[in-house]
Amino acid sequence: MFITEHKFFETFKIDSIRCKKKIISFDECQIIRKNFNIRDYFSFPNSYTHIFFDQPVVNYGRVSKEEYTIFINNIKKHFSDEIKNKSFCVKLHPGNYSDLDFYKGLEIIPSYIPSECLEADKNSIWLAISSQTLWTNNDAKKIALIDLINYESELSQKYIKESLLIKHKKVFIPKSFKDLRGNQKESNYE
């Protein structure tokens, strides 16, 4: 297990790296967490230009299954060229236990790979509804799709959006899929 930026622990296949296993105290975790870069030990190379970070929004009742289906179908239409060229994928959330049929036909990065380990460069585009992954410090362009899906609670959606902007100012938040298409490669992030 390793400490990641926004969780205390996240698991992945430990045999992917060579290290000694050790149990440490909670206080030690807090110190390590602030100074630890998992990419120094485990990096996940990939050829994807677009990575959509799954969130268990259906599991938590923030979005209905029907709304999420509509949203994912719109994503599939919008990124059809990238999907066809296998340059678009979904990175599964470690806590996802929802129906993976949402992602039928899409490339998948398994949940046990920590998002902090994904290689990214200035040509990478990271997409999420509002995932804390968008706070990760790397060169990828970050796009929060929070305004492109209807939350069950407008108050919850507003709170999450405000939290996202407090943490990471360089996130583009499109108002529509048309807005997304016109601006996803530019640097006009809020």
Domain of 83, CATH number, reads 3.40.50
27 within a domain of the structure (yes/no):
no
Show the domain range for 120.
50-183
| Cα–Cα distance, 108 to 89 (Å, whole number) | 5
Report the number of distinct structural domains present in the chain. Answer: 1
Each residue's pLDDT tens digit, 46-60: 899 999 999 888 877
Residue 154 phi, psi (nearest 5): -65, -35
Window from 19-23, 94-98, 184-188 with minimum mean pLDDT: 184-188
| Cα–Cα distance, 140 to 184 (Å, whole number) | 11
Question: Considering the entire predicted model, what is its pTM?
Answer: 0.76
Round the average pLDDT of the chain to a whole number and report it: 80
Query: Can you tell me which residue has the tokens 């967490």?
Result: 33
41 within a domain of the structure (yes/no):
no
22 within a domain of the structure (yes/no):
no
SS3 13: coil
